[in-house]
């Protein structure tokens, strides 16, 4: 029997069940193949891959962080997936749904996600006589107005917004929206630092200003803390993808009916948000690469991926046009009940980018948004450390009480060091054309 390991962070119980069903369907027609799901914690998958590769372990199909793909390709950890793309049909892939380097596809997106959307409590907005925010100033005013002591005991019961300032990627994921929408970026398309431009400092100040209306403890928040605060009725707004709506629906349908999702207005100059795909690759140590590629193509086509994505409807977004179309026709109770929310979430994909794979998505001279597949080769040095440089910058301001100017200068100096050191080791590097 050919054993194909499948390393993933998708630990949602419904997602695990559905994945096992898809595996059973495949194994029925491929009795000589056994696909073994290996669950790994969110955010530690890269470390697990590096450790396994060091000893030549058979990893099979692996979920990879986009920022690590250039390093993994250079280290010889991955197999090219051009034949998988051919089997699926190249024209079916949405923008950014493949990571292409040196003319080859190395990773294929299976589920998109966004942090460019904002969940809001309709009932609290109505009660306060407020419209949903469309600009940053309206967002700040709403956060202030909705921070309330509802029982008159002198303590705040509901905070206007749940925004993280913790030491990990959850802070980066929210902060990127502020950078992009204020006509900023980290590096331009040629790999020159642009994080040192004044509009980025403005983005930093805007993020910090909102934290005043976030619950205590936000400096320790990670991925799920804001979601949990929203579910507990402690915050009126929280930037998150579709999972928030699904989790609230399961736990408290009444609260879900009082909530909706809108575009996250973190700035007024560029319409853009932070979003990317979760990607699958195949390890170069795979014992049965052909079986791994065959299962990957099977998983991503037919109604199989659509069924998997509907385990968290609106959160897991399709990488293929055909799958997106199929989802709208499938009989799903949640999609039928909240069609507008799902549409808003899916539409956000069109204006999403991710600094690590779309370097220079925002042209800071013209304030235009045109993301191309342009991996930031030194991204690991900036974003894989803990805390990531931008998250540490926010922490320096709110915990260490540094001025925004000083923390921002520290951050862009560190980012430039990362780029300069990498470029010194790769003198012939040029960004992909």
pLDDT at 5: 96
State yes or no: pLDDT of 432 exceeds 80.
Answer: no
d(CA 133, CA 142): 7
pLDDT tens readout for residues 175-192? 999 999 999 999 999 999
The mean pLDDT of 193-219, rounded to a whole number, is 98
In which band, very low, low, confident or very high, does the pLDDT at 159 lie, cut at 50, 70 and 90? very high
pLDDT at 433: 65
Helix H or strand E segment including 13: helix 13-29
Kindly state the tokens that stand for 427: 């003198």
pLDDT at 353: 95
Domain 2-113+276-348 and domain 117-273+353-425, same fold? Reply is yes
The mean pLDDT of 25-42, rounded to a whole number, is 94
pLDDT tens readout for residues 293-345? 999 999 999 899 999 999 888 888 899 989 988 987 888 999 999 999 998 99
Q: Hey, where are the domains in the chain?
A: 2-113+276-348, 117-273+353-425
pLDDT tens readout for residues 399-420? 999 999 999 999 999 999 999 9
In which band, very low, low, confident or very high, does the pLDDT at 46 lie, cut at 50, 70 and 90? confident
State yes or no: pLDDT of 245 exceeds 70.
Answer: yes
In which band, very low, low, confident or very high, does the pLDDT at 48 lie, cut at 50, 70 and 90? confident
d(CA 341, CA 392): 33
Q: Considering only the top CATH level, what class is 2-113+276-348? A: alpha beta
Task: Give how far the C-alpha of residue 368 lies from the chain's centroid of Cα atoms, to the nearest Å.
Answer: 21
In which band, very low, low, confident or very high, does the pLDDT at 139 lie, cut at 50, 70 and 90? very high
C-alpha closest to that of 387 among 374, 406, 400: 400
State yes or no: pLDDT of 68 exceeds 90.
Answer: no
d(CA 172, CA 387): 10
In which band, very low, low, confident or very high, does the pLDDT at 16 lie, cut at 50, 70 and 90? very high
pLDDT at 195: 99
In which band, very low, low, confident or very high, does the pLDDT at 81 lie, cut at 50, 70 and 90? very high
pLDDT tens readout for residues 223-241? 999 999 999 999 999 999 9
Calculate Rg over the CA atoms of the chain. 22
pLDDT at 425: 96
pLDDT at 372: 86
In which band, very low, low, confident or very high, does the pLDDT at 11 lie, cut at 50, 70 and 90? confident
pLDDT at 43: 73
pLDDT at 141: 98
Mode of pairing for the β-strands spanning 2-8 and 33-39 = parallel
Q: How many H-runs (helices) and E-runs (strands) does the chain carry?
A: 19, 12
Mode of pairing for the β-strands spanning 61-64 and 2-8 = parallel
What is the pTM for the complete model shown?
0.85
d(CA 359, CA 431): 9
CATH homologous superfamily of 117-273+353-425: Periplasmic binding protein-like II (3.40.190.10)
Nearest-10 crossing angle of helices 404-425, 198-211: 130
Torsion of CA 296, 297, 301, 306, to 10 degrees: 10
pLDDT at 211: 98
What is the DSSP secondary structure assignment for residue 319, as one 8-state letter?
Answer: S
State yes or no: pLDDT of 214 exceeds 80.
Answer: yes
Highest mean pLDDT among 44-48, 50-54, 285-289: 285-289
Furthest C-alpha separation in the chain: 68
d(CA 230, CA 119): 9
Percent of the chain clearing pLDDT 70 (strictly above): 100
């Amino acid at each position: 029997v050919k054993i194909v390991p499948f390393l993933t962070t998708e630990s949602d119980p419904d997602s695990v069940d559905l994945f096992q069903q898809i595996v059973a369907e495949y194994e029925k027609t491929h009795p000589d193949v056994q696909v073994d799901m290996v669950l790994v914690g969110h955010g530690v998958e890269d470390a697990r891959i590096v450790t396994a590769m060091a000893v030549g372990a058979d990893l099979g199909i692996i979920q990879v962080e986009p920022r690590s793909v250039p390093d993994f390709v250079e280290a010889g950890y991955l197999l090219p997936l051009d034949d998988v793309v051919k089997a699926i049909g190249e024209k079916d892939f949405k923008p950014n749904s493949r990571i292409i380097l040196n003319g080859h596809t190395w990773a294929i997106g299976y589920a998109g996600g966004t942090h460019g959307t904002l969940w809001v409590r309709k009932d609290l907005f109505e009660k306060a006589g407020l419209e949903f925010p469309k600009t940053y100033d309206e967002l700040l005013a709403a956060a202030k107005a909705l921070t309330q002591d509802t029982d008159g005991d002198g303590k705040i019961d509901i905070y206007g917004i749940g925004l993280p300032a913790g030491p990990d990627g959850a802070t980066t994921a929210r902060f990127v929206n502020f950078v992009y929408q204020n006509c900023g970026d980290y590096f331009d398309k040629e790999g020159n630092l642009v994080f040192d431009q004044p509009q980025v400092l403005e983005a930093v100040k805007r993020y910090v200003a909102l934290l005043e209306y976030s619950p205590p403890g936000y400096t320790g928040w990670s991925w799920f803390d804001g979601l949990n605060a929203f579910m507990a009725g402690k915050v009126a707004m929280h930037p998150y993808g579709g999972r928030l709506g699904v989790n609230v629906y399961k736990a408290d349908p009444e609260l879900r009916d009082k909530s909706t999702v809108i575009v996250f207005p973190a700035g007024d100059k560029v319409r853009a948000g932070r979003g990317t795909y979760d990607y699958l690759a195949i390890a170069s140590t795979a014992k049965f690469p052909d079986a791994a590629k065959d299962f990957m193509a099977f998983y991503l086509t037919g109604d199989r991926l659509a069924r998997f994505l509907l385990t968290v409807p609106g959160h897991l977004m399709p990488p293929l046009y055909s799958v997106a179309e199929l989802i709208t026709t499938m009989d799903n109770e949640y999609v039928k009940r909240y069609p507008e929310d799902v549409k808003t979430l899916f539409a956000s994909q069109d204006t999403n980018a991710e600094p690590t794979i779309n370097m220079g998505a925002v042209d800071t001279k013209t304030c235009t948004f045109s993301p191309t597949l342009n991996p930031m080769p030194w991204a690991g040095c900036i974003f894989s450390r803990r805390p990531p440089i931008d998250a540490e910058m926010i922490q320096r301001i709110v915990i260490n009480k540094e001025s925004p100017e000083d923390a921002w200068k520290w951050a862009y100096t560190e980012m430039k060091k990362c780029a300069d050191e990498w470029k010194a080791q790769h003198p012939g590097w040029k960004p992909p054309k």
